[in-house]
Amino acid sequence: MKRLAEERPSLESLRAVYADLDGTLLGPGGSLFAASEGGVTQRAADAVRALHEGGVALVLMSGRTQRGIREVARVLGARAYIAELGAILVERDGPEECTVENFGAYEGDGRPVEAIARTGAGAFLLERFVGCLQAVTPWTEATMMFEGYVDPAEANAALEEGGYGWLEFHDNGTLRYQVPGLDVPEVHFMHLLPRGVTKASAVRLHRERHSIPVTATIGVGDSPSDLAVAPEVGAFFLVANGAASAEIVPEVPGNTYLTSASHGDGFAEAVEVALAG
């Protein structure tokens, strides 16, 4: 992985920025103005303004639900947003929204999360990895959410062995708090979702719908699920607070750059470099 302070990507005229929300664009506590080490910063807000002034589309990516991102997207003026780790793409035109489903291997009726619950896959994981996972109260459209940590590769092997091969387990980054009852060194948000549902597949879907070439885009994030976006963009920027994610994924794509700054300041650093070409 390259360090942005030492090497910069060569990009075409920028048309779209795919940015993770929590832990990337937003600082600690989910604030646009919270600096990583405390205090206040406005670099992320200035970067968002620069994107709007340059006519560049801001597309938010998150594990949050559509409802959980909608108002944030409105306030930030995002052209589109990707919810539930890629399961839902929402394109915005003023107050109007167009929802595009991206359910991967799921071809049934109703919401994928209901099918996942019916199969017992969530309970299977909880029983297989006792003390490592805790289910988050269902409130999603497509994914089943957990707090805790299990190596995704190990969880996916167990799912395949248990007859749940149409599902995948994904790591969506570190939480800033501990969860009582879990015996894990670090708590992450984990998602169980249909195979093929990723932020990367949703980014590809958005690019294709708007005929945006890979070389005119960048991605910014902090988690393994964000790193998966790298092959779908011209350059991917991992903010400094997400550096540990590069140690989790099997292979870091060659177009990945580590920013010097964390959270929103790291996002701003990436945008400043991309707008400079």
Q: Which two tokens stand for residue 184?
A: 């894990």
CB 37 within 8 A of CB 50: no
Q: Give the model's pLDDT for residue 138.
A: 63
Summarised one tens digit per residue, pLDDT across range 234-254 is 999 999 999 999 888 888 999
Contact 253/235 with Cβ under 8 angstroms?
no
- Band of the pLDDT at 266, cuts 50, 70, 90? very high
Whole-model pTM: value is: 0.93
- For the stretch 113-151, pLDDT in tens is 999 999 999 999 999 999 999 998 766 889 999 999 999
Between CA 274 and CA 241 the distance in angstroms is 20
The phi and psi torsions of 112 (rounded to 5 degrees) equal -55, -35
Would you place residue 220 in the very low, low, confident or very high pLDDT band (cuts 50, 70, 90)?
very high
d(CA 168, CA 28): 29
CA distance 246 to 236: 12
Pairing outcome for strands 188-194 and 167-174: antiparallel
Residues 6 or more apart whose CB falls under 8 angstroms from that of 102 comprise: 86, 87, 88, 89, 197, 201, 202, 205
pLDDT above 90: percentage of residues in the chain? 84
- pLDDT tens sequence across 51-87: 999 999 999 999 999 999 999 999 999 999 999 999 9
Q: Report the C-alpha gap between 121 and 109 in whole angstroms.
A: 18
- Please determine, for residue 104, whether its predicted confidence score (pLDDT) is greater than 80: yes
Q: Per-residue b/e over 167-197, b at no fewer than 16 CB within 10 Å?
A: bbbbbbbbbeeeeeebebeebbbbbbbbebb
Domain covering 2-102+198-275 assigned CATH 3.40.50.1000 in the classification: yes
Please report, for the chain, the start and end positions of each structural domain, with discontinuous segments joined by +: 2-102+198-275, 112-194
- The segment with the largest mean pLDDT, out of 20-24, 91-95, 106-110, is 20-24
* pLDDT reported for residue 139: 66
Mean pLDDT of the chain: 94
In this structure, the strands spanning 57-61 and 80-83 are: parallel
The β-bridge partners of 33 are none
Residues 17 and 13: their CA atoms lie apart, in Å, by 12
Separation in Å, CA 266 to CA 95, 134, 258: 30, 31, 9
Tens of pLDDT along 144-192?
999 999 999 999 999 999 999 999 999 988 887 778 889 998 999 999 9
pLDDT score of 53: 98
Angle CA(15)–CA(19)–CA(21) in degrees, nearest 5? 150
Taking a C-beta distance cutoff of 8 angstroms, is the pair 23, 241 a contact? yes
Residue 177 has a pLDDT of 74
Strand partners, 167: 194
